[in-house]
Copies of this chain bind each other. A is one copy, B any other.
Amino acid sequence: MDIAALREAHPDHWRRAAAIRTLTLDAVAAANSGHSGAPIGLADVATVLWSKHLKFDAAHPQWPDRDRFILSNGHASMLIYALTYLTGMPGMDLQQIKDFRQWGSKTAGHPERGHAPGVETTTGPLGQGLANAVGKAMAEAHLRAVWGEKVVDHHTFVFAGDGCLMEGISHEAIALAGMQKLDRLIVFFDHNGITIDGKVSLADITDQRERFDASGWDTFACDGHDPDDIDRAIREAKASPRPAMIECRTHIALGAPQQDTAKGHGAITKPEDVAATKEAYGMAAGSFVIEDEVKSWWEEVGARGGEAHAEWRARLDKLSKGKRAEWDRVEAGEAPRKLQSTIRALKKQAVEAMPKLATRAASEKVLEVVNPIMPETFGGSADLTGSNNTQAGGITVFDPENRAGRYVHYGIREHGMAAAMNGIVTHGGLRPYGGTFLVFSDYARGAIRLSSLMAVPTVYVMTHDSIGLGEDGPTHQPVEHLAALRAMPNHLVIRPADQVETAEAWEIALTSMTTPVTLALSRQGLPAVRSKNTNKNLVSQGAYVLAEAEAKRQVVLMASGSEVSVAMDAKAALEADGIGARVVSVPCMELFWQQDESYRRRVLPGGAVRVAVEAAVRQPWDRFLLGERGREQKAGFVGMDGFGASAPAETLFEKFGITADAVAEKAKSLL
């Protein structure tokens, strides 16, 4: 690559883009770790996009109608840190750049939402940003239809590398976006031909443009180092009535000795390499030196959106008082006041009827009353609508002909759905939920983890939550999934026992501000167990005394979901033998462990024999069997210690010994 020719062809552009490059070189060298190649390779594309197209107001990175910029190749984090520093976003000073990848800095190794300004979503696990962006573009299209172009009218821009496009999630995202005709979505493919192991051709010969074309995109190409050509491609992409992909032909680590090699992907840290690269760029040799003129130019770019922002705010102020209050409420992510009374009324009805109901059907009953009063819910399913009971309350299908629709046929794409939901929730203004079978949480786990790490309230409606699924067999029966999800930090797994608990679970999910929720729901019908305390949300305590011992308390039985009624039956059998047994319903372990110790000891007192029952592996129950402060505790578990089998559900519970008799026997054997 002839760097001198690039410098000469567009001298002003070159110096502005080179500022990104030298900041990258210096920050990576200071950290002695990171990725130099991609930020350097993408600096020209970023400079053109941010200065000529991206609608943003650096002073207010959270302006709701900003264009979204997503760095799906998150290892190129120095690119976004350089851009947000150069344009003057609040809190992004030069010290942050100098502290790249250090404890306490905003400039984490990969961009983390909530740490640095301008980071729309956490990226790094490849492909996530791209799939997240599809959700953002869907959110924009929907909100534009609902609120009008005067208040919602923006683009979603994504930078993605070869890694993003190799990951399977990219296929799910691309196909969904193509079907949805998301014309405001523009993806820049950093086509540099290099991955960590070497040339892309070691592992891939895919023609990416042909592949995007096949899924209904328009595709374009440009020389990723020619600002005019980049600008031309962006203009063409914006004019396209379909989602657009721009193949940007770039050189990884442009101008460095490692250019166009796998070594250029990682950290360029040797002082002589850094110096040689800066010299090639025609830039000053000192560290973290940015010409004043260049910095001023970038700050002007950052300030340019201020006017549009002010105009937008004036338009927002013209909304009626009621509409404006609604806008502010959904932007803040707050549930409507009416939610609590609606849930209470539903619970009251349930207690009067005490219906036998699958909790997935109970969930549908919640959605029937909640969706009409919460216009911000945005539902969907990964092609299991009838099984997940997720389309309820009159919401219509979101598609290119009906952008006001609030229900998405995500297709058989659990991972893409989860990531898109993360995109929707981080876009703001909407509260997404999506359904699949609990066993397929495995497929979505990469994105579920990001919900937890980003601290956003994405809701996963996971039905068919045990061997109770029956004949479909062990490939479809979750056994270890409750444990695996409970192990995840900042994630609520709620497994309600009946209609009342399901309503309370949804109330928690719909009011959660910083924690994603997985609702684990049964396929099979379950008897109602909650007949009291309908006003208070008992699920919010995580575990509570559902039924007190009648005879002298010798046993505490603990259970969740479909096994709560098993525990109730076991209690009846024990009481018939004169053995007092308390039943503790444990719909949400995480919430229980957040209660204070005195509450926990009241619910789970020492002394009594403890038996837990759940049609799943034991691992997360050990802590319940351990007792507070490691006090002596005779305890046992009734559940699964291997995979399930294919047979009717009742047969499976019998054959795997998850029965009231087995629970009562276990308790007796410990007494």
Contact = CB atoms under 8 A, between A and B. Distances in A.
Interface of A: 31, 33-34, 74, 101-105, 108-110, 112, 122-126, 162-163, 166-172, 175-176, 178-179, 195-198, 201-208, 210-211, 213-216, 381, 383-387, 397, 399, 409-413, 415-416, 439-440, 442-443, 445-446, 449-450, 452-453, 470-476, 479-480, 483-484, 486-490, 617-620, 622-623, 625-626, 629-635, 640-643, 645-648, 651-652, 655, 670
Contacts of A473: 101, 108-110, 112, 124
Contacts of A626: 622, 625-626, 635
Nearest to A481: B487
A125 B443 contact: yes
A386 to B, nearest CB: 7
Given A409-B202, A484-B487, A625 B617 contact: no
Instruction: Give the copy number.
Output: 2
A21 B175 CA distance: 33
Given A175-B205, A197-B386, A440-B446, 15 more contacts: A33-B471, A101-B646, A110-B646, A124-B475, A168-B168, A168-B413, A168-B415, A179-B206, A196-B385, A204-B411, A205-B216, A453-B474, A453-B643, A622-B626, A625-B626
A470 B108 CA distance: 11
A633 B630 contact: yes
**What 5 pairs between A and B have smallest CB-CB spacing?**
A168-B168, A203-B411, A171-B171, A622-B622, A124-B475
A213 to B, nearest CB: 7
Contacts of A450: 475
Contacts of A202: 397, 399, 409, 411
A39 B618 CA distance: 38
Contacts of A385: 196-197
B383 A655 contact: no
A651 B197 contact: no
Nearest to A107: B646
Nearest to A654: B103
A258 to B, nearest CB: 14
A337 to B, nearest CB: 32
- Of the listed residues A31, A163, A480, the one surrounded by the most CB atoms of chain B closer than 10 A to its CB is A480
Contact of A489 (B205, B210, B629, B641): B641
Given A170-B168, A203-B383, A410-B203, A103 B623 contact: no
A475 B112 contact: yes
A385 B199 CA distance: 13
A487 B489 contact: no
A206 B216 contact: yes
A196 B210 CA distance: 28
A635 B628 CA distance: 10
A647 B31 CA distance: 9
19 contacts: A74-B475, A102-B651, A109-B472, A109-B646, A124-B476, A125-B475, A166-B175, A167-B412, A175-B206, A179-B204, A195-B411, A196-B385, A196-B386, A206-B216, A442-B445, A480-B484, A480-B488, A489-B642, A630-B632
A101 B471 contact: yes
A262 to B, nearest CB: 9
Contacts of A443: 125, 167-168, 445-446
A314 B351 CA distance: 74
Contacts of A171: 168, 170-171
A478 to B, nearest CB: 10
Given A122-B475, A179-B205, A623 B630 contact: no
Contacts of A620: 619
A547 B357 CA distance: 56
A211 B479 CA distance: 36
Contact of A203 (B179, B442, B453): B179
Contacts of A176: 203-204
A178 B205 contact: yes
A426 to B, nearest CB: 15
- Of the listed residues A206, A387, A479, A655, the one surrounded by the most CB atoms of chain B closer than 10 A to its CB is A206
